[in-house]
Structure 1
Amino acid sequence: MKQNTVTTGGPCWVEHGSADPAGAKRFYGELFGWEPETDERPEAGGYTFMKLAGAVAASITPLYGESQPTAWSVSFAVPDADASAARITEAGGSIVVAPMDALDFGRFAIAADPGGAVFGLWQAGRLTGAEVLNAPGALGWVELLTRDPEGAKAFYPAVFGWTVNPSEQYTQWGLDGDDFGGMLTMDDRFPPQVPPHWLPYFAVADVDVTAFRAGNLGADVLMAPTSVPSGPRIAVLRDPVGAAFGIYRADTEG
């Protein structure tokens, strides 16, 4: 990710909706050094900010509905959540949760692209988004896994103004040419029951060491550490609670 601060249209926040918030806090605390700070207000519903050296990096929350899976979600920064929600429907997407205020932190909405991948919109209030990006233990890349890559290439630029940087192997998303994420086409390697989704990647100092430590902490290694040709070293893991995420070496571009 070439954006080191929150940029309008770019990824700004990741949230772990968890069936076991306490277990998720322990796992990521040990893996990334995150420290929890729970909003104790009753109306916050147990929302917990996870801090990296004092800077807000992500959040962990309880599940808010019976149908909600344990998973990481990715949100993108917008100046007006209501206007962006309207653009989403105009571009062929759908609104899962209509724009609403999140206490004094900001305004958000949950949407799905035409292929079914769910993502969030975030209009900053007191919370702009992640206070640290790209550093070890912080969000460093986001990846769309989809069965409709051509539809995605039309949808996201229409909604967010993203640039598209395609190659034979991989398509990258950017803002004014500065890439922050990519897209992977879901083929026969993905079981039909796996839905399209956004996958966050966290920067780490050493992919192999972090993957090994994650395994010792109870995670599954979905993709062993691999060096991408002309790219970073990466791995994909599933935490003990069931949420998938990626890691990549912090001093390399995605």
Structure 2
Amino acid sequence: MKITSVTTGGPCWAEIGTADPPAAKRFYAELFGWRPETDPREEAGGYTVMMLDARPAAGLTQLFAPDQPTAWTVSFATDDADAAAGRVTSAGGRVMLEPMEVLDLGRFSVVADTSGAVFALWQARAFAGAGVLNEPGSLGWVELLTRNTETAKAFYMRVFGWSVTPGETYTQWGLAGADFGGMLAMDDRFPPELPPHWVPYFAVADVDLTAERAAGLGGEVLMAPTSVPEGPRIAVLRDPQGAAFGVYLAGTEG
């Protein structure tokens, strides 16, 4: 990822909703060196910001519905959450949570693209989002897994104005010449019941060691460390509660 600060239209935050917040805090603190800071205000509902040194790196919250799976959600920055939610619906997507105020922090909406892949919109007020990007222990890449890549290209170009750089097997998303994410077509390797979804990737200093550490902490290695041709070394992991995420070697993104 060439974007090193929050940019309108780009990824600004990754948040995990989990059935076991204390266990998730311990797992990610051990894996990435994050320090949990839980908002003490009752109206915050126990929301926790995972800090990397003194900078916010990711969010953690409890599940709010019995059928809600433990999973990571990627948020994209917008200057106007209501207008962005309107573009989502006009492009064929769905608004799952209408834009709402989050204390004094910002305005927030949960939406889904035409295939059902869920993501969030964030209009910053007091809280801009990640205070660190693309450094070890921080968000550095976001990836859409979908079964209809052509429809997805049209949708995200319309909603965010992203550039699209297609390859033989992988498409990259960008803004103003800076790539920040990609798209992978879901083929027969993926179970038919697995829905399209976004996956956050976090930069690490050592992919192999991080994968080994995740397994030792009770997680699972979904894709073993692999060196992508003309790309970074990556791995896909799952935490003990079932949330999937990726890691890649810092400094080799884009």
TM-score where L is the length of structure 1: 0.99
Distance in 2, Cα, partners of 1:58 & 1:80: 22
1:128 aligned counterpart, secondary structure:
coil
Paired residues, number: 254
Distance 1:176 1:138 in 2: 22
Q: Which amino acid aligns with 1:102?
A: V
SS in structure 1 at match of 2:43: helix
1:84 corresponds in structure 2 to 84
Counterpart secondary structure, 2:187? coil
Question: Residue 29 in 1 paired to residue 32 in 2?
Answer: no
Alpha-carbon shift at residue 237 of structure 1 (Å): 0.3
Question: 1:192, 1:81 → 2: CA distance?
Answer: 32
Extract unaligned runs of 5+ from structure 2. none
Q: Distance in 1 between matches of 2:80 and 2:110?
A: 14
Which residue number in structure 1 is paired with residue 39 of structure 2? 39
1:207 equivalent in alignment to 2:207? yes
Residue deviations 1:200-219, cap 9 Å, x none? 00000010011111111111
Letter in 2 for 1:209: L
1:209-248 equivalences under 5 Å are 209-248=209-248
Deviation at 1:132, TM superposition (A): 0.3
SS of 2:107's partner is strand
Alignment of 1:8-19 (within 5 A): 8-19=8-19
1:64-83 alignment runs, 5 A limit: 64-83=64-83
CA–CA distance in structure 2, aligned partners of residues 119 and 248 of structure 1: 21
Q: Tell me the CA shift for residue 177 of structure 1.
A: 2.1
Q: Superposition pairs for residues 6-155 of structure 1, below 5 Å?
A: 6-155=6-155
Q: Distance in 1 between matches of 2:63 and 2:135?
A: 28
RMSD (CA atoms): 0.6
Task: Give the corresponding residue for 2:3.
Answer: 3
Matched residue SS, 1:50: strand
1:176 shift after superposition = 1.6
User: What secondary structure is seen at the aligned counterpart in 2 of 1:99?
Assistant: strand
C-alpha displacement of 1:86: 0.5
- Give the Cα separation in 1 of the matches to 2:250 and 2:33: 15
Q: Residue 187 of structure 1 corresponds to which residue in structure 2?
A: 187
Deviations 1:90-138 (A, max 9, x none): 1111100000011111001000000110000000011001000001000
SS in 1 for 2:108: strand
- C-alpha distance in 2 between matches for 1:148 and 1:222: 23
What is the distance in 1 between the residues matched to 2:197 and 2:104? Answer: 28
Name segments (4+ residues, structure 1) moved above 2 Å.
none
Give the letter for the 1:238 counterpart: R
Tell me the amino acid that sits aligned with residue 246 of structure 1.
G
- Helix, strand or coil for the counterpart of 1:57? strand
- After TM superposition, the structure 1 stretch with the greater mean CA deviation from structure 2, 5-14 or 63-72, is 63-72
User: Following the alignment from structure 2 to structure 1, what is the Cα–Cα distance between the partners of residues 27 and 155?
Assistant: 35
Structure 1 residue runs of 5 or longer lacking an equivalent are none
TM-score (norm 2): 0.99
Q: Give the aligned partner of residue 159 of structure 1.
A: 159
Q: C-alpha displacement at 1:64, in angstroms?
A: 1.1
